[in-house]
Amino acid sequence: MNVLMLSDVFFPRINGVSTSIDTFRRSLPEFGVDSTLIAPAYPASWQDDERTLRIPSRYLPLDPEDRIMQRGQIRKLLPQLRALAPDVVHIQTPFVAHYAGLELAQALGVPCVATYHTFFEEYLYHYVPFAPRAWMKAAARRFSRTQCNDLDAIIVPSTAMRNALEHYGVTKPMHILPTGIPCSGFHGGDGAYFRERYGIPMERKVLLFVGRVAHEKNIGLLIDMMNTLRQRHPDTVLVVTGEGPALSSLRERCRRLGLEEYVRFLGYLDRSQALHDCYRAADLFVFASRTETQGLVLLESMALGTPVVAVAEMGTRDILGPEKGCRIAPCDPAGFAEIVDGVLNDPALRTRLAQEAHDYARTWSAQAMAARMAKIYQELAGVDAGKGPVAQRTLRPAA
């Protein structure tokens, strides 16, 4: 079967949505699902496959890393998409892609599903700071409820996200389906090389954060945690990889606290090798975000044998709940530092957690999640796997 995906973000823009799309697209063909992706064009080049359609886009003032696709250019693809004959439209983001996806699904007479990747209730107010926080949270709930109820089904990456949408008043069917880890792609890595490259002595303990350097990631808590931890572990360094709108304020926070020697900002790292080296160089992966709908980086770290200390809120609870390969920390700097201190002081515990992490990550394989996604597509489209369509969907009336 064929699936048409639309997203307002994709590589070379690096974030969890891009990673999720890429992971599923690589795994779905094994289960009889081919996908075509509509995504924005970026100034930076990227090597696309033949089924990625780039749309001219413009700069987004509030978030310069992202782009706004030209919706009219998407409409022009309709003759080409009719020839493709997709069975399902799958929307990945709630901006231009959402409304264009609904329009295409109606024109093509196929069901429309979306993945709810981002917990907007705890996200929007960071980017519209002049608006009251309570007002922005209420607006995000209304926005999400309206969009989700326009769909045929919603895919959510965690139990907590499903519960939140139900609380908003979303009534359409929801499927809990996290993004899996392509375990075959997470192996190797040279921690010693990474430390040598960045001038980090082998005797120093490395705490690692990987992700977008954005306000909602709560990286400030990790910096405050380091301010406490350095009293007990003056040889420890926090490595922050990624870029984002919070970078300058976090650098200033480190300067004010005198933490320049204890916190290193490295920018984006190549996912095929340098990031693996970075995970291998770390003694612990640390994560304090309270707004994740899943937390893929936790599984990436675990897959490479790096134990995790993290706050278990929203989507990360599903990953951290069994406490395999990880320790759950409270959402305050002193309490977080206490948990990190306990793990750093116990080499035998770190060794056990590293093995647990490696084994546990394998239970979240990309293949298993892709098989479940293929089944959702088949049910939506009325397709009996391998036997073609068994029912014709009635065209949704125009709004």
What tens-digit pLDDT sequence spans the chain (399 residues)?
999 999 999 999 988 899 999 999 999 999 999 999 999 999 988 999 999 999 999 988 767 778 999 999 999 999 999 999 999 999 999 999 999 999 999 999 999 999 999 877 766 555 566 667 787 888 889 999 999 999 999 999 989 899 999 999 999 999 999 999 887 777 789 999 999 999 999 999 999 999 999 998 999 999 999 999 999 999 999 999 999 999 999 999 999 999 999 999 999 998 888 999 999 999 999 999 998 988 899 999 999 999 999 999 988 999 999 999 999 999 999 999 999 999 999 999 999 999 999 999 999 999 999 999 999 999 999 976 544 443 333 333 333
What is this structure's pTM? Answer: 0.78
d(CA 30, CA 112): 22
Q: What is the DSSP letter of 28?
A: G
Judge contact between 284 and 309, C-beta under 8 A.
Answer: yes
**Coil, strand, or helix at residue 209?**
strand
Backbone angles phi, psi at 60, to 5 degrees: -110, 110
Helices 247-257 and 219-229 sit at what angle, rounded to 10 degrees? 20
Q: Could you give phi then psi for residue 70, rounded to 5 degrees? A: -85, 110
- Residues 394 and 130: their CA atoms lie apart, in Å, by 45
Task: Find, among 88, 77, 1, the residue nearest to 39 by Cα.
Answer: 77
Return the axis-axis angle of helices 333-344 and 219-229, rounded to nearest 10°.
Answer: 60
Nearest to 153 by CA among 179, 174, 126, 178: 174
Please give the pLDDT value at position 95: 94
| CA–CA–CA angle 109, 111, 112 (5° rounding) | 120
Residues 128, 295, 374: CA angle, nearest 5 degrees: 110
- In order of start, what are the domains of the chain with their CATH numbers? 2-180+365-389 (3.40.50.2000), 183-363 (3.40.50.2000)
Q: Return the exposure string of 314-352: e unless at least 16 CB atoms fall within 10 Å of the residue's CB, then b.
A: bbbbbbbeeebbbbbbeeebeebbbbbbebbeeeeebee
Q: Regarding beta strands 67-69 and 57-59, do their DSSP bridges make them parallel or antiparallel, or are they unpaired?
A: antiparallel
Sign of the torsion angle spanned by Cα atoms 335, 338, 339, 341 = positive
| pLDDT at residue number 128 | 63
Q: Cα–Cα distances in Å, from 76 out to 54, 71, 84, 122?
A: 12, 9, 14, 35
Six-digit token pair at 213?
Answer: 């350097």
C-alpha dihedral (349, 350, 355, 356), degrees to nearest 10:
60
For position 123, what pLDDT does the model report? 62
Q: Reply yes or no: is the peptide bond before residue 12 cis, omega within 30 of 0.
A: yes
C-alpha radius of gyration, the chain, whole number: 22
Whole-number pLDDT of residue 388: 44
d(CA 98, CA 106): 12
Q: Residue 19 contacts by C-beta under 8 Å, 6 or more apart in sequence?
A: 179, 296
